[in-house]
Amino acid sequence: MTEEKWENIKSMVKDKFPDVKCTIEPIEHKIGLTESQKIGQKDVLIFNSPIGKIKLEYLIKPVIIDKKEHYSKRMGATAKTEYILSESEFSRHMDAYKLNDYNEWEKIDSSSFID
């Protein structure tokens, strides 16, 4: 999905539903036990629709070029995965969720959107 399509969806949702909550959150990847690395961001829209509460997430992450595993055979040593990320190429996609009866976000199957 392109940024233009996402902006069109965002403006359409804001026009149709008055109670839209917009946030931008970082996407982090855990490195080891205590460290984390910011690898992207997600734009989140939450709103009430006729079918219930809906959450749309637009994720922007750099493309992973390489992955390095750091480990040791010593007892008690931790393993660490290091990702080499592209600085110029990005992966973009949208996920849709619906709040179910148990107050949990349930992913909406994307095949229901296709005509």
pLDDT of residue 107: 94
pTM: 0.77
Q: Does the structure show a pLDDT above 90 at 115?
A: no
Find tokens 């992966």 and name the residue. Answer: 91
pLDDT of residue 114: 59
Q: What is the CA radius of gyration of the chain?
A: 18
Residues in the chain: 115
- For the CA atoms of 28, 31, 33, 35, what is the dihedral angle to 10 degrees? -70
Residues 72-106 pLDDT 10s: 888 877 777 787 889 899 999 999 999 999 999 99
